[in-house]
Chain A
């Protein structure tokens, strides 16, 4: 499996399908993940499983698809789209039943066939707007 496939499987299979055990195969034991939406860095396979579970408990039908992957050296940049229906609490927002579609970009650093560090930036504001927690421009003006 090459680095692009590894990064794609983390997004689509762990976060997008709830195949949590795959984290043991694809994430280094001392890996660190940075997601500005989470209160602290994600550490190792267990941390990633916990983060994915948190998002999937809020959005049980969550699906992520990788739209593009670019590799250079040990790094892979992945552009992805996430879609789901909020059925559980997220960031203190009670279930709304609303569907949301957000995009994000994750850059992974690979070592020894596993991801050792990753940086994610995704459309958190867009999600909050779609859930009605923050007004969108069209609602405010």
Chain B
């Protein structure tokens, strides 16, 4: 490790020691606010909340998929797929 990176590491450690830690932090799986004083391992994720959290995390991908699907449905292949789906319903 060179001197520059040692200095940067020391600065980061020093900065971290001055940062207070909040009483609560979100559960990494479901985003629920959990008191740090409690045993974090005792927290049990609610399935509905975990799904909602995951959907929020994936909102950009979901939006992109929706746009891509709308674009594809406007192509000859897409229009035929729509017609076929209606026909076979």
A-B complex is real: yes
Question: Chain A residues in contact with chain B, CB under 8 A?
Answer: 83, 85, 87, 95-103, 123, 125-127, 129-132, 134-138, 140-141
Listed by A's residue number, 18 A-B pairs whose Cβ atoms lie within 8 Å are A95-B56, A98-B26, A98-B33, A98-B53, A99-B26, A99-B31, A101-B22, A101-B35, A126-B22, A127-B22, A129-B22, A131-B26, A137-B17, A137-B19, A137-B20, A137-B21, A141-B13, A141-B16
Verify A99–B56 contact, CB threshold 8 A: no
The prevalent SS among residues of A at the interface is: mixed
Verify B23–A85 contact, CB threshold 8 A: no
Closest residue of B by beta carbon distance from A136 = B21
Q: CB-CB < 8 A to B57: which residues of A?
A: 96-97
Verify B22–A123 contact, CB threshold 8 A: yes
Please give the number of chain B residues whose Cβ is less than 8 angstroms from any Cβ of chain A in the complex.
23
Q: How close is A128's CB to chain B, nearest CB, in angstroms?
A: 9
Asked whether any CB of chain A lies closer than 8 Å to the CB of B59, the reply is: yes
Q: CB-CB < 8 A to B70: which residues of A?
A: none
Give the 5 A-B CB pairs with smallest separation, nearest first.
A97-B56, A126-B22, A99-B33, A140-B16, A101-B24
Q: CB-CB < 8 A to B22: which residues of A?
A: 101-102, 123, 125-127, 129-130, 136
